[in-house]
């Protein structure tokens, strides 16, 4: 399944005021893979995403995407290179409509500026149409939930699960190579998360995205991931298939704690 090496994270470390949030993180993502990053709360999973997407600058280490370093780029440049993300605590543009949310995400893929808008050039009109069409296409991925009369409703009217779906759609609209999903099924009920698990599979098989996902729901992790990276206290403690990782004593210890006699 896996193709070329897409993303390599080398010796990545970040320190927040003396606290090592991440220490020497190493992992890689190949084209067409679904990689899950798991770990207890505070392990540094979201920090890792923040660094890949350029929102946090690493103290040391390298992020290499398609053979080019990403370190030091601004978030918008990272997105333009082809890495899009969602947020753990859903952060939609709540007062923009659902369609506008996916339209605005295509900003870095489009280029009409002041001139086109003021003089309504043919190129401008064409691009607006394309933006709209792609936006509706992306929303269509989630069935009828986000299209139809909903297109022109503000994102704040959506239910929780639909907001999560719209976040994914917004990330998809940026036409990325890699999708970073930060807890995509958090807060969903079992039926919804099962459905979304299926969709994550389709994101790879039908849309050709490579996916890196943070997830706490082990069922989802087991069902979709090719590989699992386990973080604890800012360090990688295990990597491998779900079966390998789930039997790894370090992982079990990180999640369950060590037996009392050993601890003392």
Partner 1 sequence: MTETIALLPARGILDQNWRKIVNYGLLIAFAEIFIALANMPVALDDFVLIEPILSLGYLFLLCLPLLLGFGIGREKVLEGIADHAKGAREVVAGGCVGLLGGGGLSLLVLLLDNFDLRDPLVNWSPQLLDLLAFDNGVGFGVVIWLAIGGGLGLLGGSMHLIPPIARRVVATMALAVLAAAVLEAILSDMSEDLYLEWLADWVYFIRGGVTLHGAVAVAAVAAAYALWGSRAVKGAKATFQALEGAERRQANKVGLLTVAVLTILLPLVLGKITNELLANVGLFLLLALGLNIVIGLAGILDLGYVAFFAVGGYTTAILTSPNRGDSWPDWLPQLWWVVALLVVVVLAGLTGLFIGAPVIRMRGDYLAIVTLGFGEIIRLLFLSDWLGGYTGGAQGITTVPGVQVFGLATVRGTDPRAVFYLVAFFCAIAIYISWRLEKSRIGRAWMAVREDESVAEAMGINTVNVKLLAFVVGAVLASFSGAIFAAKVGSVFPSSFIILVSIVILIVVIVGGMGNILGVIAGSAVLIGVLGGPRQPGLLQELSEFKLLIYGALLIWMMLKRPEGLIPNVRRTRELHQEEFLQDAWLKGEIDLDDEEGNGGEVAPA
Q: Which residues contact 56 (CB under 8 A, 6 or more apart)?
A: 14, 47, 50
Q: Is 136 in the site for partner 1 (CB under 8 A)?
A: no
Q: Is 51 in the site for partner 1 (CB under 8 A)?
A: no
Q: Work out how close the CB of 254 gets to partner 1 at its nearest, in angstroms, rounded to a whole number.
A: 28
Strand order in the sheet with 83-85: 83-85, 178-182, 210-214, 34-38, 227-232, 235-240
**Site map (CB under 8 A) of partner 1, residues 215-254, x = contact:** --------x-------------------------------
Residue 166: closest CA among 103, 74, 80: 103
Of 8-16, 101-109, 206-214, 249-257, the segment contacting partner 1 by CB under 8 A is 101-109
Q: Is 203 in the site for partner 1 (CB under 8 A)?
A: no
How far apart CA 49 and CA 170 sit, in angstroms, is 17
Residue closer to partner 1, measured from CB, 84 or 245: 84
Q: Is 60 in the site for partner 1 (CB under 8 A)?
A: no
Q: Is 158 in the site for partner 1 (CB under 8 A)?
A: yes
Q: Work out how close the CB of 195 gets to partner 1 at its nearest, in angstroms, rounded to a whole number.
A: 5
Residue closer to partner 1, measured from CB, 2 or 112: 112
Q: Work out how close the CB of 8 gets to partner 1 at its nearest, in angstroms, rounded to a whole number.
A: 21
Q: Is the dihedral of CA 119, 123, 126, 129 positive or negative?
A: negative
Q: Which of 57, 159, 205, 241 binds partner 1 (CB under 8 A)?
A: 159
Residue 148 Cα to chain centre, angstroms? 26
Reported as type and span, the H/E element at residue 30 is: strand 19-30
How far apart CA 37 and CA 239 sit, in angstroms, is 9
Reported as type and span, the H/E element at residue 237 is: strand 235-240
Which own/partner pairs from 93-97 qualify as long-range (CB within 8 Å, at least 24 positions apart)? 93/155, 94/154, 94/155, 94/156, 95/154, 95/155, 95/156, 96/154, 96/155, 97/151, 97/152, 97/153, 97/154, 97/155
Q: Which residues contact 134 (CB under 8 A, 6 or more apart)?
A: 102, 106, 173, 175
Q: Which of 20, 26, 30, 100 binds partner 1 (CB under 8 A)?
A: 100
Q: Which of 40, 201, 222, 239 binds partner 1 (CB under 8 A)?
A: 201
Of 4-12, 23-31, 64-72, 198-206, the segment contacting partner 1 by CB under 8 A is 198-206
Q: Which of 65, 142, 209, 242 binds partner 1 (CB under 8 A)?
A: 142
Binding site for partner 1 (CB under 8 A): 53-55, 74-76, 79-80, 84-85, 87, 91, 93-96, 100, 103-110, 112-114, 116-118, 120, 124, 127-128, 131, 142-145, 149, 153-154, 156-159, 161-162, 170-171, 174, 189, 191-192, 194-195, 197-199, 201, 223
């Amino acid at each position: 399944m896996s193709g070329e090496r897409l993303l390599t994270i080398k010796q990545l470390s970040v320190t927040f005021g003396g606290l090592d949030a991440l220490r020497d993180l190493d992992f890689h993502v190949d084209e067409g893979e679904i990689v899950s990053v798991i770990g207890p709360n505070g392990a540094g999973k979201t920090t890792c995403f923040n660094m890949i997407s350029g929102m946090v600058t690493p103290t040391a280490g390298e992020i290499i995407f398609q053979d080019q370093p990403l370190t030091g780029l601004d978030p918008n440049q990272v997105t333009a290179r082809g890495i899009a993300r969602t947020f753990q605590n859903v952060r939609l543009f709540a007062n923009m409509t659902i369609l506008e949310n996916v339209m605005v995400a295509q900003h870095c893929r489009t280029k009409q500026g002041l001139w086109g808008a003021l003089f309504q050039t043919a190129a401008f009109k064409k691009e607006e149409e394309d933006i709209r069409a792609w936006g509706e296409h992306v929303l269509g991925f989630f069935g009828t939930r986000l299209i139809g009369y909903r297109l022109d409703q503000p994102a704040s009217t959506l239910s929780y699960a639909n907001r999560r779906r719209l976040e994914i759609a917004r990330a998809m609209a940026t036409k990325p190579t890699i999708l970073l999903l930060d807890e995509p099924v958090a807060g969903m009920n079992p039926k919804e998360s099962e459905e979304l698990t299926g969709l994550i599979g389709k994101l790879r098989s039908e849309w050709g995205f490579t996916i890196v996902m943070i997830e706490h729901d082990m069922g989802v992790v087991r069902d979709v991931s090719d590989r699992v990276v386990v973080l604890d206290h800012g360090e990688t403690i295990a990597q491998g298939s779900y079966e390998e990782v789930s039997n790894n004593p370090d992982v079990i210890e990180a999640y369950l704690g060590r037996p009392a006699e050993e601890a003392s």
